[in-house]
Structure 1
Amino acid sequence: MKKPLLVTDFLDRARDHYADNEAVVATTGERFTYEQLGERADRFSAALAARGIEKGDRVAVLDPNTHYHLEAAYGTMQLGAIHTPLNYRLTPDDFSYILDDAGVDAVYADYEYAEKIEAIRDDVPAETFMTNDPDVVAGDWEGFEAVLEAAPDTYERPEMSEDEVITINYTSGTTGDPKGVCRTHRTETIHAYLISVHQRLSDDDIYLWTLPMFHVNGWGHIFAVTGIGAKHVCTRGVDAGDIFEAVQSENVSYLCGAPTVLNMLVDYYDEHDPEPTGENDVRIATAGSAPPEATIRTVEDEFGWYLKHVYGATETGPLITTSDARRHFDDDSSDRFVIKKRQGLEFLGTEVRVVDEDGNDVPRDDQTLGEVVVSGNQVMDRYWNKPEATEEAFNDRIEGYYHMGDLATVDENGMISIQDRKKDIIISGGENISSIELEDTLFEHEAVGDVAVIPAPSDRWGETPKAFVVPANGDPEDPPVSADELTAFTRDNLADYKIVREVEYVEALPTTATGKVQKYELRKREWEDEDQMIGQG
């Protein structure tokens, strides 16, 4: 028997079995049961329908981790419309491109970020604009609560297919504009099933939202946590003190955080000595590059939390591997840190390979580098309106696999360990930054003759953008612009998290015989005192 896999099933199940159980602890202090969450989503669906939103239309959500985001997401998807979450750290120009590229028809924006949309609303196709506090937002915005109050609690749910696109998540472009990652009901549902297993979700879990909901739908947790009947504890940002307080007061059992969040927690713990747990045991997932061993040790031995390391990309669900392979380590042995620093083993139903330039698997010697490629039901359908980029992503070294752009080794147990990147990206504090975008921005400054941007080690962020600049006057000892001025220039033209943090003036950049800049040489020099050429964050 085949039953269509639809993302609407997650909230439907929670309403059916956990209607009177607490579903959401809101940042406003309100608490909602699953029946109340469902009714608010229904009213949002009805309100969108009354404003002409139909199946296949795109609805953007610009919001921190609040209950409004959950309601807008499900309210959108119940109509068969396409949930398009936005990174609230982007600039108005970024939003203008994304909203136009996706052809967004309606926007819900949190009051704190709505001004970024107001600045470009005349240039985008959307006609419906809502916010949760219209009194503090300039322009003509409908109030979320007023919209819900006026809307009926019933709507007509269209027929939907599991192969239809239901979310578009924009990822930072490494060679041009951002790309819209198209994910179907099927890819989202199977990914949610997988994290339910590998992250060991259960209905008595209390999940703290420290991971942005806009990041691949919060790594699928808007689906999995809801469908399993667990509790969402919402936040408006990441603050170490608030995290420890919430873990205590709400008895949080599960949360996620980039290595930089772990570092924040460790620093706060060392300074303030908070009680790290409530009534529940705590487990935390971190992703991407491995945290330092000292960080893992503090989280596990001093906080008493259980840490698992996972890995993936926006295009892959995101999660495709886990270090949580407990038959390969002893919980009481320090040897476990060697395992937990690896990206790990593939998820169920997922094929992860590390291949050489000819598409052949590298040996399991933990020495030979190859590119990580993946095949799985959680991998994206395609890039929105970018067939050439889609074709390249799935067929570069080997046909039919998504190419991650990360270079890794494989040990005897098949556990991968990322060593370097093929892509021109920097991952700073969990955010992807395009080095090419930064270079293009710096080239706009008249005092810059040539430039190359690479990731540099950072104790706080794991890695941070560093620019090697050949000044226009050719004199690195007396450049016509200061490093601080170049940093300010990037801040004026890019989202704050993308700015250049370090600048080094040089006479020339290392190049190949054909004149191509050898960023690898710059990275090797910058990371010579580190274990690997990627950061812990």
Structure 2
Amino acid sequence: MLKDVHAFEAGLDPHPANYVPLSPVSFLNRAASAFAEKIAVIDGPRSYTYAQLLDRCVRLASALAALGVGRLDTVAIIASNIPEMIEAHFAVPMLGAVLNPLNTRLDAANIAFSLAHGGAKVLIVDGDYAPLVRQALEQVDHEIVVIDIDASESSAAPLGPRNYEALLTGADPAFPWPGIADEWQSLCLLYTSGTTGDPKGVVYSHRGAYLSALGNGFSFGLGFDSIYLWTLPMFHCSGWSYPWAVVAAGGTQVCLRKVEPAAIFRLIAHHRVTHLCGAPIVLNMLAHAPADQRVPFDHTVTVATGGAAPPSAVFRSMEALGFRVTHLYGATETYGPATSSVFLPEWNALPADERFAKMARQGVAYPMVEAVTVTDPKTMIPVPRDGTTVGEIMVRSNTVMKGYLKNEPATAKTLVGNWCLSGDLAVWHPDGAIEIKDRSKDIIISGGENISSLEVEEVLTQHPAVMLAAVVARPDPTWGETPCAFLELKPGATQPDDKEVIAFCRARMARFKVPKTLVYGPLPKTSTGKIQKFMLREQAGSL
């Protein structure tokens, strides 16, 4: 005998009218219907309305289907921040296939690994990267269908007979693309920039991408009038979901192939750009750009930055130039940003240094993130919100990855209990904001005392000659470890005397935290602008 069914469940099952699988593709349908003639994408002399963008995406989906791409097949793309990258972020999921944006700054061996590990069936290639891809394809055992995008600068020969624009011209503009039936279905494959061993393939779902895009758009204040400039690589966490977020808001995306301060300032002034994202290295480039590269503009540009918090000097410089900076925190495993430093009105009354210090914190959970905690990784008990007790940042959200492709052991080490473990050490402040102190592997233990490399770097970047600082542990026979500082100087700056820099630090921090060794020169960086500390640790160990 069947149990009685509660009135709130009887006859109230999900229906196609009220239960639709979440997918970011729906944002483009709505924008093309509501704002058909509005400019959606600008790339130099090229521009596309929302109606044209939808048409191009449907045609690309049609062309890919004709090449045999179907549900859960992998379509890789290697390209700069160009319209074709945006189009791939909609056309591939239209088929229920998986998009694999490749890091343009990797070497051929790493590109080959990603293509082989991800099982790419089709590879879309920006002609500027044809020589690199040619080398990579020689190292891949399975056959991959290549589609060439015409190069902007390179004169390299196409890799194959299939041209992107020609395929779109011959494709079906009324193609009945299948979409998805399950929002948990895989949508994107993003490879982490591994420091040791092979990179890990992070898998995103349609549901996660949809919610991540809305969370980013809401937190960043995107709206119909937003003009978003692509200074963040679209291959990095699918551009933090902004290819979808800007479309959800009905805004305009301005493409930028190379991150150059002169081009950024020019585009901001010409298009009245309202929003851009980038790693702290991008902010450094803008803050220290020569005067002849700075085109004036008379509006405020909202900037989101992730990675290590920019030093207070960068906040100060960016504010003076007309930028309002919001600091974010996240990882590839969390679709990019998971927290943001929400600016509170009372901060305006604080002295500048205190205000910048609060702005540099990693802040609070995004609206679409269920929970962020700072927890003792041994006991899994949250640390006190006292601003001093150190724990590990952990995230629980619909915007946490499904897992690592073909790597269950690594997935099990990252998704533990109810949480996604970050490996980042932080404190939790009484107002609920988190503040990173270091990566767990970057804490320096000197004579039994813990030293935050970020704290030392903050002081070093206040020195008038220093643009970037990276501090790592150097083995020491007496103290176990001591801080070793690698310093990249501002353009045109004269290298300071070591004693003067050390005295500068001693006046601003405890003596045991002061670097014992200083090394000057360009810092090694990943493709997303993060400083490669593992290389510096190796160098420090041999000094």
TM-score range, shorter chain: 0.7 to 0.9
1:96 and 1:124 in contact (8 A); partners too: no
1:158 maps to what in 2?
A: 178
Extract unaligned runs of 5+ from structure 2: 1-17, 444-452, 458-469, 473-480, 491-518
Matching of residue 110 in structure 1 with residue 130 in structure 2: no
How far is the alpha carbon of 1:73 from its aligned partner?
A: 2.4
Matching of residue 277 in structure 1 with residue 293 in structure 2: no
1:174 and 1:423 in contact (8 A); partners too: no
TM-score using structure 2 length? 0.77
1:438 maps to what in 2?
A: none
Judging changes above 3 Å, is the alpha-carbon distance between structure 1 residues 507 and 392 closer, same or farther for their aligned structure 2 residues? Answer: closer
Alignment counterpart, residue 346 of structure 1, candidates 344, 365, 368: 365
User: Amino acid of the residue matched to residue 90 of structure 1?
Assistant: L
How far is the alpha carbon of 1:138 from its aligned partner?
A: 4.9
1:296 maps to what in 2?
A: 315
Q: Secondary structure at the match of 2:184?
A: coil
1:288 and 1:343 in contact (8 A); partners too: no
1:13 maps to what in 2?
A: 30
1:206 and 1:254 in contact (8 A); partners too: yes
Matching of residue 171 in structure 1 with residue 192 in structure 2: yes
User: Amino acid of the residue matched to residue 172 of structure 1?
Assistant: S
4+ runs of 1 displaced by more than 4 Å? Answer: 423-428, 454-457, 495-508
Judging changes above 3 Å, is the alpha-carbon distance between structure 1 residues 39 and 332 closer, same or farther for their aligned structure 2 residues? Answer: farther
How far is the alpha carbon of 1:76 from its aligned partner?
A: 1.3
Extract unaligned runs of 5+ from structure 1: 436-451, 462-482, 509-537
Task: Give CA-to-partner distance per residue, 1:479-502, whole Å, 9 cap, x none.
Answer: xxxx9xxx9xx99xxx99969579
1:164 and 1:184 in contact (8 A); partners too: yes
How far is the alpha carbon of 1:458 from its aligned partner?
A: 3.8
2:36 and 2:51 in contact (8 A); partners too: yes
Task: Give CA-to-partner distance per residue, 1:20-76, whole Å, 9 cap, x none.
Answer: 00011114x111101111111111111111111111100001011001111222221
**Whole-Å separation in 1 of the counterparts to 2:143 and 2:442:** 33
Q: Secondary structure at the match of 2:329?
A: strand
How far is the alpha carbon of 1:351 from its aligned partner?
A: 0.7
- CA RMSD, 1 decimal: 3.1
2:420 maps to what in 1?
A: 402
How far is the alpha carbon of 1:148 from its aligned partner?
A: 1.2
Q: Secondary structure at the match of 1:245?
A: helix
Aligned length: 451
Q: Which structure is larger by alpha-carbon Rg, 1 or 2?
A: 2
**Whole-Å separation in 1 of the counterparts to 2:357 and 2:28:** 39
Q: Percent identity?
A: 34
1:520 maps to what in 2?
A: none
**Whole-Å separation in 2 of the counterparts to 1:18 and 1:150:** 26
Judging changes above 3 Å, is the alpha-carbon distance between structure 1 residues 347 and 117 closer, same or farther for their aligned structure 2 residues? Answer: same
How far is the alpha carbon of 1:424 from its aligned partner?
A: 7.2
1:355 and 1:370 in contact (8 A); partners too: yes
2:318 and 2:324 in contact (8 A); partners too: yes
**Whole-Å separation in 2 of the counterparts to 1:350 and 1:328:** 26
Q: Secondary structure at the match of 2:160?
A: coil
Q: Secondary structure at the match of 1:96?
A: helix
**Whole-Å separation in 2 of the counterparts to 1:338 and 1:346:** 18
2:257 maps to what in 1?
A: 236
**Whole-Å separation in 1 of the counterparts to 2:442 and 2:74:** 30
Matching of residue 324 in structure 1 with residue 345 in structure 2: no
1:89 maps to what in 2?
A: 105
**Whole-Å separation in 1 of the counterparts to 2:145 and 2:425:** 44
User: Amino acid of the residue matched to residue 338 of structure 1?
Assistant: A
TM-score using structure 1 length? 0.78
How far is the alpha carbon of 1:124 from its aligned partner?
A: 4.3
Q: Secondary structure at the match of 2:431?
A: coil
Q: Secondary structure at the match of 1:99?
A: helix
Matching of residue 253 in structure 1 with residue 274 in structure 2: yes
Judging changes above 3 Å, is the alpha-carbon distance between structure 1 residues 321 and 276 closer, same or farther for their aligned structure 2 residues? Answer: farther
**Whole-Å separation in 1 of the counterparts to 2:183 and 2:78:** 25
**Whole-Å separation in 1 of the counterparts to 2:540 and 2:251:** 53
Judging changes above 3 Å, is the alpha-carbon distance between structure 1 residues 333 and 229 closer, same or farther for their aligned structure 2 residues? Answer: farther
1:174 and 1:424 in contact (8 A); partners too: no
Judging changes above 3 Å, is the alpha-carbon distance between structure 1 residues 365 and 217 closer, same or farther for their aligned structure 2 residues? Answer: same
**Whole-Å separation in 2 of the counterparts to 1:16 and 1:382:** 35
How far is the alpha carbon of 1:136 from its aligned partner?
A: 2.9
Task: Give CA-to-partner distance per residue, 1:513-534, whole Å, 9 cap, x none.
Answer: xxxxxxxxxxxxxxxxxxxxxx
Judging changes above 3 Å, is the alpha-carbon distance between structure 1 residues 331 and 143 closer, same or farther for their aligned structure 2 residues? Answer: farther
